[in-house]
Amino acid sequence: MGRKENRGENMGNLMEMGTVQALGGTELELSLANELRVPKREVTADVTFLYAGDQPQPCLFYLSFYSPRRCGEESLSEYLNSVHSFLPLRDKASGEFFIVHVNQILTVREAPVMDMSGGRPLQLHLQNGAALQLVSCEPRHAWRSRPIDLLNDAERFVAFFQDDHSRIHVNKRHIARVEGL
């Protein structure tokens, strides 16, 4: 038993050093740092946090190349509505990484999109006193066509369009009132 444990410790030490000796006596280069990395793509968005509700901060989100729900890349909406409570972000200006709880995010504003299908204009009043003039996005399902259905579904964030054709994701936890229904 002592011999197996010793071999396991030696293997662990060799892997940390980056080389492993093969059966024939040759050394193999082993780099687990690159082997275990999951490739992600960077997406820039302006994030308004609860602790600084008056000033959006440009941040980088790290999204998967594969969506867990459909064919194609993971969308920002899917990422925000995932089961993760804490999200890693990178401040675009300083380059520093930080982790934030999803409930500390008020809004996430994506870059403008070309296709903005017509929806219903709404005014959202957030708990911090901000009022947002938005247009509802097309519903995902025809039978859930009312804005109240989008606000009452199980997802944490709901997506809208702004006047400049940018998509904005609003944390439903921080919506106090909606007008224009």
Q: Copy the structure tokens of residue 12.
A: 């662990």
Contact 105, 49 (CB under 8 A): yes
On the question of pLDDT at 28 being above 70, the answer is: no
Q: What is the pLDDT of residue 112?
A: 79
Q: What is the pLDDT of residue 14?
A: 42
**Residue 38 DSSP one-character state:** P
On the question of pLDDT at 10 being above 50, the answer is: no
On the question of pLDDT at 167 being above 70, the answer is: yes
DSSP letter string over 78-123? HHHTSS-SEEEEEETTT--EEEEEGGGEEEEEEEE-S------EEE
Tell me the C-alpha distance between 84 and 127, whole Å.
23
On the question of pLDDT at 61 being above 90, the answer is: yes
Q: What is the pLDDT of residue 13?
A: 45
Task: Classify residue 13 as exposed, middle or buried by CB count within 10 Å of its CB (0-12, 13-18, 19+).
Answer: exposed
**What's the chain's average pLDDT?**
80
| Nearest in space to 151 (alpha carbons), one of 111, 120, 113, 116 | 120
Q: Render pLDDT for 122-150 as a digit per residue (tens, 0 to 9).
A: 899 999 889 999 988 765 555 556 777 77
Q: pTM, whole model, 2 decimals?
A: 0.75
